[in-house]
């Protein structure tokens, strides 16, 4: 039986190389499918929601929401993460793992902050982001190349779906609680 982290990592890596994603080569707005743009809204807060709504966007939201691309680069010793060309909010308000910034390529506090920020931005659901970020860190963020990386919303969605399936399977397999009678 495959470990959930292996399955999520496989989902992440499937299509992760340059050119495998059909949207990688699309740069002109007229080449983009309906509702897709190569860049997000400049200067807009992409988080938007309160974290209480459904993590699954409606069909209408999918048509209006541009595909997000997340990139991690290094400049000297600084690790920078952008979403559609804008800095990714570290979401220290949800959990302060690493006030010094993001990291990736291992399983520490900087990668935990990055996992949380990626999921909070992508899912637009703070509760789900907090619940899933440690597993996402182990499955995806810990495996990102040190020199730099690019993730699409599709890759994040596939990894999250794998983690959620595993979470559901674990709940079903959990032993039922046992009531013990006390005899006097």
* Neighbour tally for 24: CB within 10 Å: 14
Question: Three-state DSSP class for 87?
Answer: strand
Give the integer Cα–Cα distance in Å for 77 and 147. Answer: 11
pLDDT reported for residue 60: 56
User: 101 and 91 in contact (C-beta within 8 Å)?
Assistant: no
Question: Three-state DSSP class for 81?
Answer: strand
**CB within 8 Å of 9: residues ≥ 6 apart:** 139, 140, 143, 159
DSSP 49: S
Domains of the chain: which residue ranges?
4-39+68-169
Quickly list H helices, the chain: 4-13, 59-64, 109-123, 126-139, 153-173
Give the integer Cα–Cα distance in Å for 125 and 133. Answer: 12
Query: pLDDT of the chain along its 184 residues, tens only?
Result: 456 556 665 555 554 444 443 333 333 333 333 333 333 333 333 344 444 444 455 555 555 567 999 999 999 889 999 999 999 999 999 999 998 899 999 999 999 999 999 999 999 999 999 999 999 999 999 999 999 999 999 999 999 999 999 888 777 776 655 555 656 6
What's the gap between Cα 77 and its chain centre? 24
């Amino acid at each position: 039986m495959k470990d959930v982290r292996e399955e999520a990592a496989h989902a992440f890596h499937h299509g992760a190389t340059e050119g495998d994603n059909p949207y990688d080569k699309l740069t002109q707005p007229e080449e983009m499918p309906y509702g897709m743009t190569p860049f997000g809204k400049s200067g807009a807060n992409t988080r938007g929601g309160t974290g209480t709504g459904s993590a699954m966007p409606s069909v209408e939201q999918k048509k209006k929401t541009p595909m997000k691309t997340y990139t991690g680069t290094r400049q000297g010793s600084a690790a920078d993460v952008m979403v559609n060309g804008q800095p990714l909010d570290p979401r220290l308000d949800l959990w302060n793992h690493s006030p010094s910034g993001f990291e990736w390529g291992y399983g520490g506090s900087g990668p935990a902050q990055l996992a949380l920020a990626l999921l909070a931005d992508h899912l637009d659901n703070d509760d789900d982001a907090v619940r899933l970020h440690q597993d996402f860190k182990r499955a995806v963020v810990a495996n990102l190349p040190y020199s730099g990386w690019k993730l699409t919303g599709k890759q994040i969605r596939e990894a999250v779906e794998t983690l959620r399936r595993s979470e559901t399977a674990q709940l079903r397999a959990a032993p039922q609680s046992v009531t013990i009678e006390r005899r006097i």
